[in-house]
Structure 1
Amino acid sequence: MPSIDFQLERDFIELNQLLKLAGLCDSGGAGKALVASGVVRVDGQVETRKTCKIRAGQRVEVGDTRIEVAAG
């Protein structure tokens, strides 16, 4: 499973923006569509809130790609 280490510069990032900045989609709108499709998991649970706040220490998975979010 490919893994991406994402350094968080603030307290949180919205899920759709994280997907865009991690390179898993081209735009925030595409990130929202990806979340709406039900393929995004946060800490092992399917997440359907497109702008859910992701904080350091959380893990986001899309298909076979994992994003590890750490404090920057």
Structure 2
Amino acid sequence: MEKFQLRAGEDFIRLGQVLKAAGFVESGAEAKEVIQDGLVSVNGETETRRGRKLHKGDIASYDGREIEIG
């Protein structure tokens, strides 16, 4: 499992942003597509909202890869 560290002073990151920052997708448009298609899960549940806020301890999964927000 990969880890994504929030920047100092940040409380959250949006799902589409973390998929792109982690290299799970190439672009924001691709992130939007895979999320809307129901291919991404957060904490084990399918998530279709690109703007979903992820906080410390949340785990996002896509295409067999996982990333934990830290």
TM-score (norm 1): 0.88
Q: Give the unaligned 5+ runs of structure 1.
A: none
Matched, 1:4 2:6: no
Instruction: State the partner residue of 2:53.
Output: 53
Instruction: State the partner residue of 2:34.
Output: 34
Which aligned runs of 4 or more in structure 1 are off by greater than 4 angstroms? none
**CA distance, structure 2, for counterparts of residue 49 and residue 43 of structure 1:** 14
Equivalent pairs, count: 68
**CA distance, structure 1, for counterparts of residue 39 and residue 65 of structure 2:** 11
Per-residue CA distance 1:41-63 (angstroms, 9 max, x = gap): 00000001111111111001112
**Higher fraction of strand:** 1
How much has 1:34 moved relative to structure 2? Answer: 1.1
Q: Give the unaligned 5+ runs of structure 2.
A: none
Instruction: Describe the SS at the equivalent of 2:5.
Output: strand
**CA distance, structure 2, for counterparts of residue 29 and residue 51 of structure 1:** 13
Instruction: State the partner residue of 1:23.
Output: 23
How much has 1:23 moved relative to structure 2? Answer: 0.2
TM-score (norm 2): 0.91
Question: Equivalent pairs: percent with the same residue?
Answer: 38
